[in-house]
A and B are shown apart, each in its own frame.
Chain A
Amino acid sequence: DAMVIQNPRYQVTQFGKPVTLSCSQTLNHNVMYWYQQKSSQAPKLLFHYYDKDFNNEADTPDNFQSRRPNTSFCFLDIRSPGLGDAAMYLCATSRDQGDRAGNEQFFGPGTRLTVL
């Protein structure tokens, strides 16, 4: 089945220790997104790639970086995690090709990040 995969599902890191979260997709979608979701809050968009074009949200801290080496994979790097970065990190994809149905975003299972 075509899907969005995130690894690891759970990540524990220490304060200030860099961490990388991974997302892969078999949907062949051209747009990939990274969201941060904290308890009882809506997902917050950090950045997204439209093909190879990187789009950063204005309020995304510099501590968060992303890489998309190819269509299928996208990574979220947190350079120096703080206690406030503990959250669920969600990867999503869409196949934006100019039609409205292409706006549908499909989420991976998420990575739960704990910062000690």
Chain B
Amino acid sequence: QKEVEQNSGPLSVPEGAIASLNCTYSDRVSQSFFWYRQYSGKSPELIMSIYSNGDKEDGRFTAQLNKASQYVSLLIRDSQPSDSATYLCAVISFGNEKLTFGTGTRLTIIP
């Protein structure tokens, strides 16, 4: 069973601090990794994609991938109240166009 696991939270972070969201996956042939942000009652929005080991930065967001440890994380710097949402980690395995989602981490930024 291919699985993607996230801490469901809720994770509370003070405004201006760094929010750290973590995800582990079980399928070693996973090759594409995504973070989606989902506001309550809305659809998922793609915010980061990462394919290679290391860090990828985009504005206040940094995705980190460690394939040896089967671990992917998302850091949000200078957290804002508008970052309050559920963050879904998703993974695609080699030769497969289907996403496997984690159950999401609910993040709350406290003003």
Contacts and interface: CB of A to CB of B under 8 A. Distances in A.
Interface stretch (B11-19, B53-61, B66-74, B94-102): B94-102
A48 B32 CA distance: 19
A102 to B, nearest CB: 8
Contacts of A105: 34, 46, 90, 99
A90 B43 contact: yes
A90 B102 CA distance: 16
Interface of A is mostly: mixed
B31 interface: yes
A105 B43 CA distance: 12
A106 interface: yes
B92 interface: yes
Contacts of B44: 43, 90, 107
Nearest to A4: B43
Interface string B86-111: 00101010000111011110000000
A96 B97 contact: yes
> Interface residues of B toward A: which range?
20 to 34
Interface residues of A, number: 23
B43 A42 contact: no
29 contacts: A31-B97, A42-B102, A42-B103, A43-B44, A43-B99, A45-B98, A45-B99, A48-B98, A90-B43, A94-B97, A96-B97, A101-B49, A101-B51, A103-B32, A103-B49, A103-B92, A103-B97, A104-B34, A104-B49, A105-B90, A105-B99, A107-B36, A107-B43, A107-B46, A108-B43, A109-B42, A109-B43, A110-B42, A112-B41
Interface of B: 31-32, 34, 36, 41-46, 49, 51, 88, 90, 92, 97-99, 101-104
Given A40-B103, A103-B92, A103-B97, 19 more contacts: A41-B103, A42-B101, A42-B102, A42-B103, A42-B104, A45-B99, A48-B98, A100-B31, A100-B51, A103-B32, A103-B34, A103-B99, A104-B34, A105-B34, A105-B99, A106-B46, A107-B46, A109-B43, A112-B41
